[in-house]
């Protein structure tokens, strides 16, 4: 796939109008651009061919490519970081760059490796690719460590803040509010006693 992109880029270096005429846009907004589209975009930017139109890069993106500079640069950055497979996988599985980055080590060339089974990145395998990506992400989510308990100092600060807030209440509490507060205090007392903290009655 990389060789195809390099060959396409090299063939059009002498003719800016040919690059601009490939498509009305590069399908970036629609989210269906190909790696070859973005390689073309990268060539236009890096070679500064767009200058022959009298525009800077931002103006060229808007006027000729029908996308803003940020969108174009982001697509090029994705190609540079992930390679051509990124565009196939994200379109088939409908995932974002952050999710792709998490499973990138399972993608080699034109296939996804799921437990030793290589799922080819082909249009007819769209569902299989989507299922494989979903399974990999689910496994990664399951491996995520649980958040560490809040530090004691932070918990103590919260308790003191609550005490100060309660002290600032001027209108008093109604019966339901008093009952709810008593339940909350009881829960805190039980938790504290469970940690060996003795509280006066």
Structure tokens at 193: 């006693």
Per residue in 128-175, pLDDT (tens digit) is: 999 999 999 999 988 877 666 668 788 888 888 888 888 888 777 877
Using the 8-state DSSP alphabet, how is residue 60 labeled? Answer: H
Residue keyed to tokens 């980055």: 101
DSSP letters, 88-156, are: HHHHHHT--HHHHHHHGGGEETTEEEETTEEEE--GGGHHHHHHHHHHHHHHHHHHSPPPPPPPHHHHH
Which has more confidence, 146 or 197? Answer: 197
- Among 13-27, 35-49, 86-100, 129-143, name the one with the lowest average pLDDT: 13-27
Is the pLDDT score of 37 beyond 90? no
Best CA proximity match to 44, nearest among 74, 66, 76: 76
Query: With DSSP H G I counted as helix, E B as strand and the rest as coil, what are the percentages for the chain, rounded to 5?
Result: 65, 5, 30
Q: Is 136 exposed, middle or buried (0-12, 13-18, 19+ CB in 10 A)?
A: buried
Percentage of the chain lying above the pLDDT 70 cut: 80
C-alpha neighbours within 13 Å on the C-beta side of residue 159: 13
pTM for this predicted structure: 0.61
Answer yes or no: are the C-beta atoms of 58 and 112 closer than 8 Å. no
Q: Looking at residue 44, what is its pLDDT?
A: 87
Phi first, then psi, for residue 119 (nearest 5°) are -100, 110
Across all residues in the chain, what is the average pLDDT? Answer: 81
Find the mean pLDDT for residues 84-106. Answer: 93
3 neighbors 41 (Cβ within 8 angstroms): no
**What are 51-62's pLDDT values in tens digits?**
988 999 999 888
């Amino acid at each position: 796939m990389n060789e195809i992109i390099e060959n396409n880029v090299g063939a059009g270096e002498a003719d800016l109008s040919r690059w601009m005429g490939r498509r009305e846009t590069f399908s970036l907004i629609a989210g269906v651009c190909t790696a070859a589209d973005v390689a073309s975009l990268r060539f236009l930017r890096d070679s500064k061919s767009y200058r022959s139109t009298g525009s800077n890069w931002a103006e060229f993106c808007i006027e000729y490519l029908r996308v803003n500079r940020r969108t174009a640069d982001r697509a090029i950055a994705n190609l540079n970081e992930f390679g051509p497979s990124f565009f196939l996988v994200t379109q088939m599985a409908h995932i974002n760059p952050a999710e792709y980055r998490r499973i990138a080590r399972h993608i080699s060339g034109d296939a996804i490796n799921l437990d030793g089974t290589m799922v080819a990145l082909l249009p007819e395998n769209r569902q299989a690719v989507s299922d494989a990506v979903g399974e990999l992400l689910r496994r990664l989510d399951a491996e995520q460590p649980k958040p560490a308990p809040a530090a004691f100092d932070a918990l103590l600060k919260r308790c003191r803040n609550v005490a100060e807030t309660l002290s600032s209440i001027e209108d008093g509490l109604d019966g339901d509010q008093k009952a709810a507060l008593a339940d909350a205090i009881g829960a805190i007392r039980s938790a504290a006693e469970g940690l060996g903290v003795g509280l006066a009655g």
